[in-house]
Amino acid sequence: MPIRIVTTHLEFEGQVEEVRVVLEGEEPPAWGPDTPFQVVGKPTARVDARERVTGAAEYSYDVQLPGMLTAAGLRSPHPHARISRLDASSALAVPGVRAVYSHLNAGDFINPSSGKPVFGNELLYHGDLVALVVAETPEQAREATRAIDVAYEPLPFVTAPDAALAANAPMVNTAVPSNTISDEYPQVYQRGDVEAALAQAEVTIETRMETPAALHNSLETHGGAASWDGSRLTVWSSTQGVFGARQQAAAALGLPMTAVQVITQYMGGGFGSKLGVHRSGLLAAYASRQLGLPVKYMLDRTEENLDAGNRPPSVQAYRLGAAKDGTLAALDLAVIHNVGANGLWSSPVALPAKELYQCANVRTTDRAARTNLGTLAAFRAPGVVEGIAGLEVAIDALATELGMDSLELRRKNFAERYQLLDRPYARKMLLDCYRIGAERIGWETRDAEERRYPGGRSGHLRRGIGMASQLWGGDGGPPAQAIAKLLPDGTAVIITGTQDIGTGTRTVLAQIAAEELGYPLERVRVELGETAHGVFSPMSGGSMTLASVGPAVRMAAVEARKELTEVIGQLAEAPADALDIRNATVFNRETGAEMGGVSTYLEQLGGHEITAKGMRGPNAEDVTVRTFGAQFAEVEVDIGTGAVRVVRIVAVHDCGRIINPLTYSSQIEGGIIQGLGFALTEQRIVDERLGMVMNPNLGDYKAPTIRDIPQIDIVLLNEPNVVANTLGVLGAGEPPIIPTPGAIANAVGHALGKTVTRLPLTPDRVLDMLSTTTERS
Amino acid sequence: MRPFEHLTVQAADEAIQALAGGDGGNTRLIAGGTDLLPLLKDGLVNPGRLIDIKPARALRHLTFDADGSLRIGALTTLAEIERSSQLAERLPLLRQSVVDAATPQLRAMATVGGNLLQRSRCWYFRGPFDCWLKGGTVCYMRDGENKYAAIFDQGPCRSAHPSDLAPALVALDATVSISGPAGSRTTPVAEFLAPPTNDERVEYRLRPDEMVTEIRIPAEAIAGHGVYLKAMDRRAWAFALVGAAAQVTILDGKVARARLVFSAVANVPWRATAAEALLVGQTLTPDLAAQAADAAIAGASPLAHNGYKVPLARELARRAILAAANLWTETN
């Protein structure tokens, strides 16, 4: 196949980067709107459903090798402290304990992601790693952490971002002279003249939104199992990216990448916090190499909630100016990020303000504070969930000020083009999403007396309806590779280096291959989650897996089928282009004759397996690919108790062609439930006096339960986006969480006639809102 | 969790014998373990010996006696109370008090006796803080993250009692039967649960060599009607922000007996006697219920972050009083 090196552009969570990729051969033409399908688009149960529900599926947590040791971490009980003494002798005397690692004996072990030692003697936050015990059983390891004799010298600390950025603030890390991320902060984006436009605007409003730190609480905690055999390292890592994990593990241990294999067959949730191998996985690898035995280190729930990242708190201040007819004239946003002790980046909270509405005068200012708290991690649409909540609540407040319907205000300020680069969108179905969602939720009757007051005006229930918009990338891109092998027995194997992080990747890739091969789904096996195959795929993040890997799988299947018909044509003395394959059976398209199963021919090849490569082609240039959508929420508030019940959510998202309506719906439901938690119940609580996290567990950190989940009404648009890639798909991982908190906040605002300024809307906050905030009309 | 010895007994007297040899609290009984296991894992208790009393079937029963009183064995699970059709009919307050407690899995294991012995959920008590309740000198809750704290001041500790069942039992004038080496004694639940003091930093009064065997509810209390209302910050698996148990007997159109008891507003279930006194002898009306609810929260001294509990307690009290008399509707 002809080989080319191509430069293209890839967007990942608001950042566009240029990439050079190697391409072999040509991608097939895109599936059009009228392409007929046998497997694609059909609701299909997960191909690994049985393993998952019976417990047969082996997660990293489940890996158990002969002689395997277990590690447990000792965590800092201070927000900022220096270790003044550490004596592990009592811990080493606990039966079964093999090693205790700390800065004293493992200070030269460097985390390649940060370039810093994994064990330091300055602890930067509650939950920072003090020492690691490795023992024969988990119980011994955990117990021995208590036997380590440590003396801490407490240091001044700061947890509030504005305090951290103030003059004379305590240094979060005494080795770093500033509490901001870098001298690139504050980051300012502007177009037009915001101050002049605000001064001239007929109507102006100011709103504020404070969002909490949310913890991922992946059901499978971070970590991994590692086995060093003297020359090669194998890591079973709970990761969203096996290739990235391999690179980190190799760098950390000073090994060539070829000496490291990473395996992730099943993964219990990551939501962005598992984009690498995590230092828990690195520690398992380090200990295995030191001790010459397999070692597993999976965080316990407390460690997970202190040291596995978070959606960082944001404080957003908006100033909007508009003409009386609703035309948006100015949008000013100032954000303060709290990125934790070691944050290297801040989330794109300001992305929606820059892009969602047509506005000539926009300024966004991002300030980022490091604090003595756990470091941020990507969390399902990082920044944009928070930013949409802030912006869409501000838009509702503006609509109230203008006396306009808020949906009408949004339509009036619809942005036709991508304003940051002044170029077109590949497609923007946002107005369709508005229309369909409004119809489903009954937007027209949202102010009707009987709807707003289910028990009458003297009753204690108030209902409200609110909505919020969604925008996101999700078009993926190269490099992503796949191999298709057609075996003599009439089955096919698809090999890719992606991983199924719980979204159903195995299933949708099998559907795509089955479709193009003309094989039934059960004859296609997808192998993924292993670096050993060398078939590179990107990490599963940024809603890019299907849109990146899917086209590569499709191309591999198309190429394999070409070879298959060629081979059959020669064996059967029939023209290859007259051959059709359906249900793994060969037909002569011209005569209609059935010519037997594919294995009849493949078995004649002396063990030869047809093998074909596929790869994701470059992205379209000069156009911005986006998914857009909207969610509408109906809530019921008990004004006597402050309890908010979400009654119903209508979700309308343009995610291109839907390969599998079942796994798509799972994504939408999961995103909405996670977003509902962010809106109503979830928050990391910090005692600011002590700098300590009060609720690093699943009891006090309140994720939604089944009873909190409303009726969820999912609209399948299923319109292929033929500009995006040859499948016409867009990612669906992140879009569904993006508008949920904003829609719920606006629904509560509508129910109470007030503007929401803080999330989550717990009963105490709602009762406070009812007693303090001034009413709006 | 430290290593410990584990043994099993078949009956209460065997358990008492085993406790007698258990030197000063080193031996602990375990039933459902829904609170003891987390306490063990967090290192808050470190017994050398655990005695499993689950096989003592005689302690697991719900019995209405001929005189109309109710006896509940200490090992009866919350799930058994929840599922009892007899209780649903004759004592809805008791059943309601458990239906939103914890989760189905926990209710299947958790026992009535253990429920009365559960420790504070205060995160300073449960977490790595040397708080007063654990023997330290400071109640961190007072000036700290206190949205879940008590609004009534009962002493050095500000933790709020977590039980949903206990306020219902107090509202039903329940007594608790306790066995020890010297025989048995009976004490009102309202006295068995007591605010921690300098000398006894625990929310109940039970010696290390004693065990709870039974709860009794008198017929006079059962004769009334009651409800338990619980406010939570999610719709399942949450301790009460505030809970209100009301049990009211109406004779000839007038309130003959009234009990109003809160969970989560004080160190132990908080009986609102002033509110009860306002109701007795009166015809129950929405206005009277509102007055009683006002009286119920008089004297509350909320902290920085739990002020919301005051109007919440008042509202739940108003609704519970009305609902106990079948006067509560969506429009009250």
Q: What is the pLDDT of residues A712-760, one digit of tens each?
A: 999 999 999 999 999 999 999 999 999 999 999 999 999 999 999 999 9
Q: Tell the residue number behind the tokens 């007063």, with chain if given.
A: B132
Question: CA–CA distance from A81 to each of A124, A178, A642 (Å)?
Answer: 7, 18, 40
Cβ(A130)–Cβ(A145) below 8 Å: no
CB neighbour list of residue A422: distance below 8 Å, 6 or more residues apart: none
| Among candidate residues B191, B153, B316, the one with its CA nearest the CA of residue B244 | B316
Domain A314-475+622-771 falls in which CATH fold?
Aldehyde Oxidoreductase; domain 4 (3.30.365)
**Distance from C-alpha of B115 to C-alpha of B129, rounded to nearest angstrom:** 24
Task: Name the residue among B231, B305, B319 with its Cβ closest to that of A643.
Answer: B231
β-partners of residue A644 are A637
Largest distance between two CA atoms of chain B: 62
**Fold agreement between A63-155+222-298 and A314-475+622-771:** no
**Distance from C-alpha of A51 to C-alpha of A39, rounded to nearest angstrom:** 22
CA A18 to chain centre: 22
Q: Is the CB of B143 inside 8 Å of chain A's CB atoms?
A: yes
Residues from chain B that touch A145, judged by Cβ atoms under 8 A, are none
B24 pLDDT above the threshold of 90 = no
Q: Out of 3.40.50.300, 3.30.720.110, 3.40.1350.10, 3.30.465.10, select the CATH number for domain B57-117+160-220.
A: 3.30.465.10
Domain A63-155+222-298 falls in which CATH fold?
Aldehyde Oxidoreductase; domain 3 (3.90.1170)
Task: Name the residue among B43, B241, B331 with its Cβ closest to that of A763.
Answer: B241
B330 pLDDT above the threshold of 80 = no
Greater confidence (A680 vs B26) lies with A680
CA distance B68 to chain A (A): 36
Q: Do B331 and A456 touch (CB under 8 A)?
A: yes
pLDDT score recorded for residue B274:
98
Q: Is the CB of A645 inside 8 Å of chain B's CB atoms?
A: yes
Q: Which of residues 41-60 of B touch A (CB under 8 A)?
A: 43
Residues from chain B that touch A694, judged by Cβ atoms under 8 A, are 123-124, 127, 145
Find the mean pLDDT for residues A625-632.
97
Domain locations in chain A as residue ranges: 3-59+476-615, 63-155+222-298, 314-475+622-771
Q: Is the CB of A137 inside 8 Å of chain B's CB atoms?
A: no
Q: Sign of the C-alpha dihedral, residues A102, A107, A110, A116? A: positive
- Name the residue in chain A with its Cα closest to that of B313: A641
Residues from chain A that touch B104, judged by Cβ atoms under 8 A, are none
Cβ(A330)–Cβ(A361) below 8 Å: yes
Task: Name the residue among B140, B236, B331 with its Cβ closest to that of A459.
Answer: B331
| Among candidate residues A607, A676, A588, A684, the one with its CA nearest the CA of residue A635 | A676
Mean pLDDT score of chain B: 96
Q: Tell the residue number behind the tokens 């999403």, with chain if given.
A: A433
**Distance from C-alpha of A534 to C-alpha of A549, rounded to nearest angstrom:** 14
Q: What is the pLDDT of residues A25-84, one digit of tens each?
A: 999 999 988 999 999 999 999 999 999 999 999 999 999 999 999 999 999 999 999 999
CA distance A159 to chain B (A): 14
| Among candidate residues A601, A611, A763, A684, the one with its CA nearest the CA of residue A217 | A684
Using pLDDT thresholds of 50, 70 and 90, give the confidence band for residue A773: low
- Name the residue in chain B with its Cα closest to that of A300: B41
Q: Is the CB of A772 inside 8 Å of chain B's CB atoms?
A: no
Mean pLDDT score of chain A: 96
Render A24-87 in DSSP notation, one character per residue: ES-PPPPP-TT---SSTTS----TTHHHHHHT-S-BGGG---TT-EEEEEEE-SSSSEEEEEEE
Find the mean pLDDT for residues A454-459.
92
DSSP-derived pairing of the beta strands A417-418 and A423-424: antiparallel
DSSP-derived pairing of the beta strands A492-496 and A524-527: parallel
Residues from chain A that touch B234, judged by Cβ atoms under 8 A, are 680-681, 702, 704-705, 707-708
CB neighbour list of residue A54: distance below 8 Å, 6 or more residues apart: none
Q: Tell the residue number behind the tokens 């988990």, with chain if given.
A: A138
Query: How many CB pairs below 8 A link A and B?
Result: 88
In chain B the first and final C-alpha atoms are separated, in Å, by 51
Which contacts qualify for B10-16: CB closer than 8 Å, 24 or more apart? B10/B55, B10/B56, B11/B56, B11/B58, B12/B53, B12/B56, B12/B58, B12/B59, B12/B179, B12/B211, B12/B213, B13/B179, B14/B56, B15/B51, B15/B53, B15/B56, B15/B211, B16/B179, B16/B180, B16/B181, B16/B209, B16/B210, B16/B211
Q: What is the pLDDT of residues A63-74, one digit of tens each?
A: 999 999 999 999
β-partners of residue A315 are A210, A336
DSSP for residue B156? S
Q: Is the CB of A323 inside 8 Å of chain B's CB atoms?
A: no
Q: Sign of the C-alpha dihedral, residues B11, B17, B19, B22? A: negative
Per-residue exposure over B62-87, b if at least 16 CB sit within 10 Å of its own CB, e if not:
bebeeeebbebbbbbbbbbbbebeeb
Question: CA–CA distance from B203 to each of B140, B174, B189 (Å)?
Answer: 18, 17, 12
Helix, strand counts (H, E) of chain B: 14, 12
**What number of residues does chain A have?**
777
Token pair belonging to A59: 């997660």
Q: Do A690 and B305 touch (CB under 8 A)?
A: no
Q: Is the CB of A138 inside 8 Å of chain B's CB atoms?
A: no
Find the mean pLDDT for residues A670-679.
98
**Distance from C-alpha of A262 to C-alpha of B278, rounded to nearest angstrom:** 71
Q: Do A460 and B330 touch (CB under 8 A)?
A: yes
Question: Is omega for the bond preceding A312 within 30 degrees of 0, making it cis?
Answer: no
Give the CA count within 13 Å in the CB-facing half-sphere of A567: 23
Helix or strand (DSSP H, E) at A643: strand A643-653
Coil, helix or strand at residue A597: strand
**Distance from C-alpha of B139 to C-alpha of B157, rounded to nearest angstrom:** 6
CA distance B90 to chain A (A): 28
A775 pLDDT above the threshold of 70 = no
Q: Do B234 and A687 touch (CB under 8 A)?
A: no
pLDDT score recorded for residue A595:
96
Q: Is the CB of A689 inside 8 Å of chain B's CB atoms?
A: yes
Domain locations in chain B as residue ranges: 57-117+160-220, 225-324
Helix intervals (H) in chain B: 12-20, 36-41, 78-83, 85-90, 92-99, 104-109, 112-116, 123-126, 165-171, 189-192, 219-222, 273-279, 286-296, 309-324
pLDDT score recorded for residue B328:
87
pLDDT score recorded for residue A11:
81
Q: What is the helix, strand, coil percentage profile of chain A, to 5?
A: 30, 30, 45
Residues from chain B that touch A705, judged by Cβ atoms under 8 A, are 234-237
Give the CA count within 13 Å in the CB-facing half-sphere of A102: 24
Cβ(B286)–Cβ(B315) below 8 Å: no
Question: CA–CA distance from A307 to each of A139, A171, A241 (Å)?
Answer: 21, 20, 19
**Fold agreement between B57-117+160-220 and B225-324:** no
CA distance A33 to chain B (A): 44
Q: What is the pLDDT of residues A390-424, one digit of tens each?
A: 999 999 999 999 999 999 999 999 999 999 999 99
CATH architecture of A3-59+476-615: 2-Layer Sandwich (3.30)
Q: Do A763 and B312 touch (CB under 8 A)?
A: yes
Using pLDDT thresholds of 50, 70 and 90, give the confidence band for residue A777: very low
Using pLDDT thresholds of 50, 70 and 90, give the confidence band for residue A774: low
| Among candidate residues B36, B78, B289, the one with its CA nearest the CA of residue B164 | B78
Work out the angle at residue A361's Cα, subtended by the Cα atoms of residues A356 and A366, and round it to the nearest 5 degrees.
Answer: 70
For the packed helices B309-324 and B286-296, what is the interaxial angle rounded to 10 degrees? Answer: 140
Q: Is the CB of A596 inside 8 Å of chain B's CB atoms?
A: no
B329 pLDDT above the threshold of 90 = no
Work out the angle at residue B233's Cα, subtended by the Cα atoms of residues B245 and A271, and round it to the nearest 5 degrees.
Answer: 155
Q: Out of 3.90.1010.10, 3.40.50.1820, 3.30.390.50, 3.30.70.2660, select the CATH number for domain B225-324.
A: 3.30.390.50
Residues from chain B that touch A77, judged by Cβ atoms under 8 A, are 128
Q: Is the CB of A154 inside 8 Å of chain B's CB atoms?
A: no
What ipTM, to 2 d.p.? Answer: 0.96
Task: Name the residue among B123, B233, B307 with its Cβ closest to that of A762.
Answer: B233
pLDDT score recorded for residue A481:
97
Q: What is the pLDDT of residues B186-238, one digit of tens each?
A: 999 999 999 999 999 999 999 999 999 999 999 999 999 999 999 999 999 99
Task: Name the residue among A689, A704, A771 with its Cβ closest to that of B234.
Answer: A704
Q: Is the CB of A461 inside 8 Å of chain B's CB atoms?
A: yes
A631 pLDDT above the threshold of 70 = yes
Q: Tell the residue number behind the tokens 């177009």, with chain if given.
A: A191
Work out the angle at residue B165's Cα, subtended by the Cα atoms of residues B160 and B166, and round it to the nearest 5 degrees.
Answer: 60
**Distance from C-alpha of A53 to C-alpha of A49, rounded to nearest angstrom:** 6
- Name the residue in chain B with its Cα closest to that of A645: B235
Question: Out of A310-314, A436-440, A474-478, A568-572, which region has the weakest mean confidence (pLDDT)?
Answer: A474-478
CB neighbour list of residue A62: distance below 8 Å, 6 or more residues apart: none
pLDDT score recorded for residue B331:
58
